[in-house]
Amino acid sequence: MWESLVYGLSIAATPMNVIYCFLGCLYGTFVGVLPGFGPAAAISVLLPLTFGMNPASAVIMLAGIY
């Protein structure tokens, strides 16, 4: 069990995934300040950014957007 947790954290802590998380937070903030846009709308608008990405990186970026 601990090995899986450490493995998941090692994937999430890679420099590229941290950058994707930061970009997701940045994009989510930019879209979130628009009136009437919530987290679900921000994810639906920014979802096409993640189509060509690695699945783990895409989920990390979507979590940052949320």
pTM: 0.83
The parts of the chain modelled with pLDDT lower than 50 are: none
33 secondary structure, DSSP code: T
d(CA 9, CA 2): 11
Handedness of CA 34, 46, 24, 60 (dihedral sign): positive
47-61 pLDDT, tens digit each: 898 899 999 999 999
